[in-house]
Amino acid sequence: MTDNKKALFDAMVAYKVPGIQAAVDKARKDGLSASQIIDAMGEGMTEVGVMFERGKLFLPHVLSAAQGMKNAMDVLGPELQASGDASTKRASVVMGTVEGDVHDIGKSICSTMLQCAGFDVHDLGRDVAKAEFIKEIKDGCTMCGMSALMTTTMTVQKDVIELLKQEGLRDKVIVMIGGAPVTQAYAEKIGADIYGETASETTRKAKTISE
Ligand code: B12
């Protein structure tokens, strides 16, 4: 990891909004690209999650780190879009966190990166009803990305795939799934087309499959 990437990672783990802001400012000044910065912050946010699970950080710390990440995304997102290959027109993608689940940090990072790669992203947010995904696909989205951060909600990804089959839409859409408890094996088991461990991997796979 370069010094700047490590500083971004460390600032996320230290969870203080001004510290995160300072690390982002320095990385930008030193010429790191928006996607390099977002990747390093995403890794830091994942570590925050691990520390939370181990009882080393508490909820206010997690929320503070998430706020720092969100502030950075507000600035870096549009920058990434301007610098990326957004001029390349790619597929329309409906993205959302499945119903019953309010975790949206990772999903939003994926949406931003996909958008920057030229995908037309319809991000429905979090706690998205199954029928909402189906509606967007009927309205023309040819890719469907579902995020689930809990073992109790990842089953909804399977439910939506089943609904797509019932509606005769499964063959018309590329299904992507992700979120911390989701794995490649689970994606294969439920018949999803793409499993994305990170936002960069998701974007790379989405570009390849839609080419
Ligand atoms: C932040 C957080 C919260 C925040 C969410 C804020 C927000 N706006 O998102 C708040 C405080 C609101 C919250 C609430 C709750 N949480 Co919470 N939360 C977390 C935490 C610490 C980090 C999640 C995160 O943001 N990670 C960082 C991002 C960058 O990573 P990511 O989401 O995995 O995303 C990356 C990849 O997975 C992938 N990806 C993500 N989405 C998608 C989608 C597609 C299509 C693809 C291809 C890829 C992809 O790309 C992303 C970027 O690289 C996790 C712990 C953990 N280890 O995950 C617990 C965790 C998920 N929460 C948990 C729980 C239980 C809850 C609560 C029920 C309350 C509680 N008891 O703590 C509520 C849930 C309420 C609800 N109905 O949803 C549990 C879930 C356990 C389980 N059942 O599986 C966890 C695992 C913590 C724990 N061990 O207890 N939480």
pLDDT in tens, 37-81: 988 998 899 899 889 989 999 999 999 999 999 899 888 877 877
**Best substitution site from 109, 149, 183, 184 to test ligand 1's pocket, by max atoms within 8 Å of Cβ?**
149
Find the DSSP H helices in 54-119. 59-83, 105-116
Task: Look at ligand 1, atom 9, and give the residue with the nearest C-alpha.
Answer: 103
pLDDT tens digits, 84-122: 655 677 899 999 999 999 999 889 889 988 987 889 999
190 vs 61: CA distance, rounded Å: 35
What's the mean per-residue pLDDT of the chain?
92
Going by C-alpha positions, the residue among 8, 66, 14, 67 that lies closest to residue 32 is 8
- Read off the pLDDT of residues 132-176 as tens digits, 9 standing for 90 and up: 999 999 999 999 999 999 999 999 999 999 999 999 999 999 999
pLDDT above 90 covers a percentage of the chain that reads 72
Assigned fold of 92-209: Rossmann fold (3.40.50)
By the 10 Å C-beta count (0-12 exposed, 13-18 middle, 19+ buried), 166 is classed as exposed
Q: Looking at ligand 1, which atom is closest to the CA of residue 145?
A: 45
**149: Cβ below 6 Å to ligand 1?**
yes
Nearest residue by C-alpha to atom 54 in ligand 1:
49
| From-to residues of CATH 1.10.1240.10 in the chain | 3-83
Calculate how far, in angstroms, residue 96's C-alpha sits from the geometric centre of ligand 1: 13
Pocket test for ligand 1, best of 54, 76, 103 (most atoms within 8 A of CB): 103
Spatial separation of the C-alpha atoms in residues 44 and 54, rounded to whole Å: 15
Per DSSP, what are the bridge partners of residue 174?
143
Residues of each domain in the chain carrying CATH 3.40.50.280? 92-209
Nearest protein Cα to ligand 1, atom 66: 150
CATH number of 3-83: 1.10.1240.10
